Structure 1
Amino acid sequence: MGLLRLLILGFVAVGLAACSGSKTLHSTAPSGDGPDEFTIMPAKQLTQPKDYAALPLPTPGGVNRTDQDPLGDAVVALGGKASARSPYNTGIPASDGNLVNYSSRLGREADIRAKVWEDDEEFRRKRGRGTWLRISKKGLYEDVYKRQALDYRDEWWRWKRAGARTPAAPVQ
Protein backbone atom coordinates (compact mmCIF):
# COMPACT_ATOMS: atom_id res chain seq x y z
CA MET A 1 0.00 0.00 0.00
CA GLY A 2 2.87 2.37 0.78
CA LEU A 3 4.38 1.88 -2.68
CA LEU A 4 1.05 2.66 -4.34
CA ARG A 5 0.73 5.91 -2.38
CA LEU A 6 4.29 6.87 -3.30
CA LEU A 7 3.59 6.18 -6.97
CA ILE A 8 0.37 8.23 -6.92
CA LEU A 9 2.17 11.09 -5.16
CA GLY A 10 4.91 10.96 -7.80
CA PHE A 11 2.40 11.14 -10.66
CA VAL A 12 0.62 14.06 -9.00
CA ALA A 13 3.91 15.91 -8.58
CA VAL A 14 4.87 15.33 -12.21
CA GLY A 15 1.40 16.36 -13.36
CA LEU A 16 1.53 19.61 -11.38
CA ALA A 17 5.02 20.37 -12.66
CA ALA A 18 3.81 19.91 -16.24
CA CYS A 19 1.12 22.55 -15.70
CA SER A 20 3.56 25.39 -15.12
CA GLY A 21 1.92 27.39 -17.93
CA SER A 22 4.85 28.82 -19.91
CA LYS A 23 3.51 30.16 -23.22
CA THR A 24 6.90 30.74 -24.85
CA LEU A 25 9.06 28.21 -26.60
CA HIS A 26 12.18 29.14 -24.70
CA SER A 27 11.26 30.73 -21.41
CA THR A 28 13.67 33.56 -20.61
CA ALA A 29 11.58 35.19 -17.92
CA PRO A 30 13.51 36.26 -14.83
CA SER A 31 13.00 33.99 -11.86
CA GLY A 32 12.56 36.66 -9.20
CA ASP A 33 11.53 40.25 -8.53
CA GLY A 34 15.05 41.65 -8.96
CA PRO A 35 16.62 43.05 -12.11
CA ASP A 36 17.18 40.75 -15.06
CA GLU A 37 20.95 40.45 -15.44
CA PHE A 38 20.64 39.39 -19.08
CA THR A 39 19.11 42.70 -20.15
CA ILE A 40 22.00 44.79 -18.89
CA MET A 41 24.84 45.38 -21.34
CA PRO A 42 27.95 47.35 -20.43
CA ALA A 43 28.81 50.32 -22.62
CA LYS A 44 31.79 50.25 -24.97
CA GLN A 45 34.99 51.96 -23.90
CA LEU A 46 35.23 55.68 -24.44
CA THR A 47 37.63 56.61 -27.23
CA GLN A 48 38.88 59.93 -28.45
CA PRO A 49 37.81 60.60 -32.04
CA LYS A 50 40.40 61.56 -34.64
CA ASP A 51 38.23 64.36 -35.95
CA TYR A 52 35.78 66.15 -33.68
CA ALA A 53 34.03 67.75 -36.66
CA ALA A 54 32.98 64.29 -37.90
CA LEU A 55 31.03 63.51 -34.73
CA PRO A 56 27.26 63.25 -35.25
CA LEU A 57 25.02 65.72 -33.52
CA PRO A 58 23.41 64.36 -30.36
CA THR A 59 19.82 63.29 -30.81
CA PRO A 60 17.51 62.70 -27.84
CA GLY A 61 16.62 59.04 -27.73
CA GLY A 62 19.10 58.30 -30.50
CA VAL A 63 22.11 56.03 -30.56
CA ASN A 64 25.35 56.73 -28.76
CA ARG A 65 28.84 55.78 -29.96
CA THR A 66 29.38 53.80 -26.75
CA ASP A 67 26.14 51.80 -27.00
CA GLN A 68 26.53 48.10 -27.63
CA ASP A 69 25.19 46.76 -30.93
CA PRO A 70 25.59 42.97 -30.90
CA LEU A 71 23.82 42.49 -34.23
CA GLY A 72 25.93 45.17 -35.89
CA ASP A 73 29.09 43.64 -34.43
CA ALA A 74 28.02 40.25 -35.84
CA VAL A 75 27.44 41.81 -39.27
CA VAL A 76 30.94 43.30 -39.24
CA ALA A 77 32.47 40.03 -37.98
CA LEU A 78 30.86 38.18 -40.88
CA GLY A 79 32.25 40.61 -43.43
CA GLY A 80 29.34 43.02 -43.78
CA LYS A 81 29.16 46.77 -43.39
CA ALA A 82 28.29 48.32 -40.06
CA SER A 83 26.40 51.09 -41.88
CA ALA A 84 23.87 48.51 -43.06
CA ARG A 85 22.60 48.22 -39.47
CA SER A 86 22.44 51.96 -38.89
CA PRO A 87 19.13 53.19 -37.45
CA TYR A 88 19.32 56.06 -39.94
CA ASN A 89 19.51 53.63 -42.83
CA THR A 90 16.00 53.03 -44.14
CA GLY A 91 15.04 51.32 -47.33
CA ILE A 92 16.88 48.84 -49.48
CA PRO A 93 20.56 49.45 -50.30
CA ALA A 94 21.35 49.91 -53.99
CA SER A 95 23.56 46.83 -53.90
CA ASP A 96 20.54 44.67 -52.97
CA GLY A 97 18.09 46.20 -55.44
CA ASN A 98 18.46 43.46 -58.06
CA LEU A 99 18.02 40.72 -55.45
CA VAL A 100 14.85 42.30 -54.07
CA ASN A 101 13.42 42.88 -57.54
CA TYR A 102 14.12 39.29 -58.60
CA SER A 103 12.75 37.74 -55.42
CA SER A 104 9.54 39.80 -55.66
CA ARG A 105 9.01 39.30 -59.39
CA LEU A 106 5.84 37.26 -58.79
CA GLY A 107 4.50 39.75 -56.28
CA ARG A 108 4.88 40.10 -52.55
CA GLU A 109 2.64 40.61 -49.60
CA ALA A 110 3.11 43.72 -47.53
CA ASP A 111 2.17 41.94 -44.30
CA ILE A 112 4.24 38.80 -44.88
CA ARG A 113 5.83 38.88 -41.43
CA ALA A 114 2.45 38.91 -39.69
CA LYS A 115 1.20 36.11 -41.97
CA VAL A 116 4.25 33.94 -41.27
CA TRP A 117 3.84 34.61 -37.54
CA GLU A 118 0.19 33.52 -37.64
CA ASP A 119 1.01 30.41 -39.69
CA ASP A 120 3.78 29.47 -37.26
CA GLU A 121 1.46 29.97 -34.28
CA GLU A 122 -1.08 27.65 -35.92
CA PHE A 123 1.64 25.09 -36.73
CA ARG A 124 2.90 25.13 -33.14
CA ARG A 125 -0.63 24.86 -31.79
CA LYS A 126 -1.33 21.77 -33.93
CA ARG A 127 2.06 20.13 -33.46
CA GLY A 128 2.28 21.02 -29.79
CA ARG A 129 -0.63 18.77 -28.85
CA GLY A 130 0.55 15.95 -26.68
CA THR A 131 4.01 17.39 -26.10
CA TRP A 132 3.04 18.16 -22.51
CA LEU A 133 2.58 14.43 -21.96
CA ARG A 134 6.25 13.76 -22.58
CA ILE A 135 8.81 14.32 -19.91
CA SER A 136 11.76 15.48 -21.93
CA LYS A 137 15.03 17.24 -21.26
CA LYS A 138 14.47 19.14 -24.48
CA GLY A 139 12.13 22.09 -24.61
CA LEU A 140 8.88 22.52 -26.47
CA TYR A 141 10.75 24.06 -29.41
CA GLU A 142 12.73 20.88 -30.07
CA ASP A 143 9.62 18.72 -29.75
CA VAL A 144 7.52 20.78 -32.15
CA TYR A 145 10.14 21.35 -34.85
CA LYS A 146 11.87 17.96 -34.60
CA ARG A 147 10.79 16.80 -38.09
CA GLN A 148 12.14 19.97 -39.71
CA ALA A 149 15.59 19.82 -38.15
CA LEU A 150 18.62 19.04 -40.30
CA ASP A 151 21.62 17.10 -39.12
CA TYR A 152 24.60 19.02 -40.47
CA ARG A 153 26.77 15.89 -40.57
CA ASP A 154 24.27 13.99 -42.74
CA GLU A 155 23.95 16.97 -45.07
CA TRP A 156 27.72 17.34 -45.30
CA TRP A 157 28.16 13.69 -46.21
CA ARG A 158 25.29 13.85 -48.71
CA TRP A 159 26.93 16.79 -50.52
CA LYS A 160 30.38 15.19 -50.29
CA ARG A 161 29.11 11.92 -51.85
CA ALA A 162 27.47 13.98 -54.61
CA GLY A 163 30.89 15.43 -55.44
CA ALA A 164 30.31 18.97 -54.21
CA ARG A 165 33.21 20.88 -52.72
CA THR A 166 32.74 21.54 -49.03
CA PRO A 167 35.67 23.77 -48.05
CA ALA A 168 33.98 25.22 -44.94
CA ALA A 169 33.02 21.84 -43.54
CA PRO A 170 34.37 20.94 -40.11
CA VAL A 171 37.31 18.57 -39.96
CA GLN A 172 36.07 15.05 -39.24
Structure 2
Amino acid sequence: MRKASLILGMAAMMALTACAGGSKLNNFRKVQSGPDEFGILPTKPLSMPPDLAVLPQPTPGGANITDPTPKGDAVAVLGGNPARLADQGVAAADQALIAHATRQGTDPAIREDLAQRDARWRERNGRRLIERIIGSSVYQRAYEDVSLDAEAEQVRWQRAGAITSTAP
Protein backbone atom coordinates (compact mmCIF):
# COMPACT_ATOMS: atom_id res chain seq x y z
CA MET A 1 0.00 0.00 0.00
CA ARG A 2 2.78 2.39 0.92
CA LYS A 3 4.59 1.64 -2.33
CA ALA A 4 1.47 2.30 -4.39
CA SER A 5 0.83 5.66 -2.68
CA LEU A 6 4.48 6.63 -3.22
CA ILE A 7 4.23 5.83 -6.94
CA LEU A 8 0.89 7.67 -7.19
CA GLY A 9 2.39 10.70 -5.44
CA MET A 10 5.40 10.75 -7.77
CA ALA A 11 3.14 10.48 -10.81
CA ALA A 12 1.06 13.42 -9.55
CA MET A 13 4.20 15.51 -9.01
CA MET A 14 5.46 14.72 -12.51
CA ALA A 15 2.09 15.68 -13.98
CA LEU A 16 2.15 18.99 -12.13
CA THR A 17 5.71 19.82 -13.22
CA ALA A 18 4.81 19.03 -16.83
CA CYS A 19 2.18 21.77 -16.66
CA ALA A 20 4.65 24.35 -15.39
CA GLY A 21 5.50 25.64 -18.86
CA GLY A 22 9.19 24.85 -18.80
CA SER A 23 12.13 26.96 -19.84
CA LYS A 24 11.81 29.46 -22.67
CA LEU A 25 15.58 29.65 -23.24
CA ASN A 26 15.55 28.44 -26.83
CA ASN A 27 11.99 29.38 -27.71
CA PHE A 28 12.47 31.85 -30.54
CA ARG A 29 8.81 32.59 -31.10
CA LYS A 30 7.56 35.92 -29.87
CA VAL A 31 5.26 35.14 -26.96
CA GLN A 32 4.58 38.60 -25.60
CA SER A 33 2.96 41.59 -27.15
CA GLY A 34 4.57 44.21 -24.92
CA PRO A 35 7.43 46.56 -25.79
CA ASP A 36 10.92 45.26 -26.43
CA GLU A 37 13.02 46.41 -23.50
CA PHE A 38 16.18 46.19 -25.60
CA GLY A 39 14.69 48.43 -28.28
CA ILE A 40 14.49 51.44 -25.96
CA LEU A 41 17.59 53.59 -26.23
CA PRO A 42 18.29 56.53 -23.97
CA THR A 43 18.95 59.86 -25.60
CA LYS A 44 22.32 61.53 -25.30
CA PRO A 45 22.64 64.29 -22.70
CA LEU A 46 21.77 67.80 -23.80
CA SER A 47 24.78 70.03 -24.32
CA MET A 48 25.66 73.26 -26.05
CA PRO A 49 27.65 72.58 -29.23
CA PRO A 50 30.83 74.61 -29.72
CA ASP A 51 29.44 75.99 -32.98
CA LEU A 52 25.72 76.41 -33.64
CA ALA A 53 26.36 75.91 -37.35
CA VAL A 54 26.87 72.15 -36.73
CA LEU A 55 23.25 71.73 -35.68
CA PRO A 56 21.12 69.97 -38.27
CA GLN A 57 18.29 71.81 -39.99
CA PRO A 58 15.12 71.26 -37.90
CA THR A 59 12.79 69.01 -39.88
CA PRO A 60 9.87 66.89 -38.68
CA GLY A 61 11.19 63.38 -38.20
CA GLY A 62 14.75 64.50 -38.91
CA ALA A 63 17.91 63.68 -36.99
CA ASN A 64 18.90 65.41 -33.79
CA ILE A 65 22.33 65.51 -32.13
CA THR A 66 20.83 63.94 -28.99
CA ASP A 67 19.39 60.98 -30.91
CA PRO A 68 20.99 57.67 -29.93
CA THR A 69 23.47 56.23 -32.42
CA PRO A 70 24.38 52.80 -31.02
CA LYS A 71 26.24 51.61 -34.13
CA GLY A 72 28.28 54.79 -34.36
CA ASP A 73 29.02 54.71 -30.64
CA ALA A 74 30.18 51.09 -30.90
CA VAL A 75 32.43 51.90 -33.86
CA ALA A 76 33.94 54.85 -31.97
CA VAL A 77 34.57 52.75 -28.84
CA LEU A 78 36.31 50.10 -30.94
CA GLY A 79 38.58 52.74 -32.46
CA GLY A 80 36.85 53.25 -35.80
CA ASN A 81 35.45 56.31 -37.51
CA PRO A 82 31.65 56.57 -37.00
CA ALA A 83 31.40 59.00 -39.94
CA ARG A 84 32.23 56.09 -42.26
CA LEU A 85 28.87 54.51 -41.42
CA ALA A 86 27.16 57.23 -43.43
CA ASP A 87 29.24 56.40 -46.52
CA GLN A 88 27.19 54.81 -49.25
CA GLY A 89 28.54 51.91 -51.22
CA VAL A 90 31.39 49.54 -50.59
CA ALA A 91 34.88 50.73 -49.72
CA ALA A 92 37.51 50.21 -52.40
CA ALA A 93 39.43 47.86 -50.12
CA ASP A 94 36.37 45.56 -49.91
CA GLN A 95 35.46 45.47 -53.60
CA ALA A 96 37.33 42.20 -54.27
CA LEU A 97 35.71 40.52 -51.28
CA ILE A 98 32.22 41.57 -52.36
CA ALA A 99 32.87 40.49 -55.95
CA HIS A 100 34.02 37.04 -54.79
CA ALA A 101 31.10 36.57 -52.38
CA THR A 102 28.51 37.54 -55.00
CA ARG A 103 30.11 35.78 -57.99
CA GLN A 104 27.18 33.31 -58.25
CA GLY A 105 24.51 35.91 -57.60
CA THR A 106 22.52 36.83 -54.52
CA ASP A 107 19.08 35.92 -53.28
CA PRO A 108 17.16 38.90 -51.85
CA ALA A 109 14.76 36.55 -50.04
CA ILE A 110 17.45 34.38 -48.42
CA ARG A 111 16.31 35.07 -44.86
CA GLU A 112 12.71 34.08 -45.53
CA ASP A 113 13.82 31.00 -47.47
CA LEU A 114 16.12 29.83 -44.67
CA ALA A 115 13.45 30.47 -42.03
CA GLN A 116 10.97 28.29 -43.96
CA ARG A 117 13.52 25.50 -44.45
CA ASP A 118 14.44 25.64 -40.78
CA ALA A 119 10.79 25.43 -39.71
CA ARG A 120 10.19 22.43 -42.03
CA TRP A 121 13.29 20.64 -40.73
CA ARG A 122 12.30 21.15 -37.11
CA GLU A 123 8.77 19.92 -37.86
CA ARG A 124 10.16 16.71 -39.36
CA ASN A 125 12.63 16.28 -36.50
CA GLY A 126 10.30 17.39 -33.75
CA ARG A 127 10.55 16.89 -30.04
CA ARG A 128 10.55 13.37 -28.70
CA LEU A 129 8.03 12.29 -26.08
CA ILE A 130 10.37 12.87 -23.15
CA GLU A 131 11.30 16.30 -24.54
CA ARG A 132 7.61 17.20 -24.72
CA ILE A 133 7.06 16.04 -21.15
CA ILE A 134 9.93 18.03 -19.65
CA GLY A 135 9.38 20.99 -21.98
CA SER A 136 12.85 21.05 -23.50
CA SER A 137 13.67 22.57 -26.84
CA VAL A 138 14.54 20.67 -29.99
CA TYR A 139 16.92 23.44 -31.06
CA GLN A 140 20.16 22.07 -29.57
CA ARG A 141 19.52 18.53 -30.82
CA ALA A 142 18.41 19.76 -34.22
CA TYR A 143 21.68 21.54 -34.91
CA GLU A 144 24.02 19.26 -32.99
CA ASP A 145 25.66 17.78 -36.11
CA VAL A 146 26.50 21.23 -37.54
CA SER A 147 27.49 22.94 -34.29
CA LEU A 148 31.07 24.01 -33.69
CA ASP A 149 33.11 22.86 -30.70
CA ALA A 150 34.97 26.09 -29.95
CA GLU A 151 37.73 24.51 -27.87
CA ALA A 152 38.45 21.75 -30.39
CA GLU A 153 38.49 24.30 -33.20
CA GLN A 154 40.93 26.51 -31.32
CA VAL A 155 43.26 23.57 -30.72
CA ARG A 156 43.00 22.60 -34.41
CA TRP A 157 44.01 26.11 -35.52
CA GLN A 158 46.84 26.27 -32.97
CA ARG A 159 48.24 22.93 -34.19
CA ALA A 160 48.07 24.28 -37.74
CA GLY A 161 50.32 27.17 -36.64
CA ALA A 162 47.74 29.94 -36.64
CA ILE A 163 47.93 32.64 -34.00
CA THR A 164 44.82 32.41 -31.85
CA SER A 165 43.62 34.35 -28.86
CA THR A 166 43.84 32.66 -25.51
CA ALA A 167 40.70 31.29 -23.99
CA PRO A 168 39.94 29.98 -20.54
Is TM (by shorter chain) over 0.5? yes
1:160 Cα deviation (Å)? 0.9
Residue 12 of structure 2: aligned partner:
9
Residue 132 of structure 2: aligned partner:
133
1:16 Cα deviation (Å)? 1.7
Give the alignment partner of residue 89 of structure 2, picking from 88, 92, 100.
92
- CA distance 1:39–1:113, shift in 2 (3 Å): closer
Map 1:21-60 onto structure 2 (within 5 A).
24-25=27-28, 29=32, 38-60=38-60
Verify the 8 A CA contact 2:122 2:138 in the aligned structure 1: no
Residue 170 of structure 1: aligned partner:
166
Larger Rg: 2
The alignment yields a C-alpha RMSD, in angstroms, of 3.7
Verify the 8 A CA contact 2:127 2:137 in the aligned structure 1: no
Matched, 1:150 2:145: no
Verify the 8 A CA contact 1:25 1:141 in the aligned structure 2: no
Verify the 8 A CA contact 2:56 2:63 in the aligned structure 1: no
Secondary structure at 2:121 match in 1: helix
Secondary structure at 1:5 match in 2: helix
1:128 Cα deviation (Å)? 4.2
1:19 Cα deviation (Å)? 7.6
Distance, in Å, in 2 between the alignment partners of 1:157 and 1:22 is 29
Percent same amino acid among aligned pairs? 34
The number of residue pairs the alignment matches comes to 163
1:134 Cα deviation (Å)? 6.7
1:165 Cα deviation (Å)? 2.0
- CA distance 1:127–1:81, shift in 2 (3 Å): farther
- CA distance 1:163–1:98, shift in 2 (3 Å): closer
Distance, in Å, in 1 between the alignment partners of 2:72 and 2:126 is 34
1:135 Cα deviation (Å)? 3.8
Structure 2 alignment gaps of length 5 or more = none
Verify the 8 A CA contact 1:44 1:68 in the aligned structure 2: yes
1:26 Cα deviation (Å)? 7.3
Verify the 8 A CA contact 2:72 2:82 in the aligned structure 1: yes
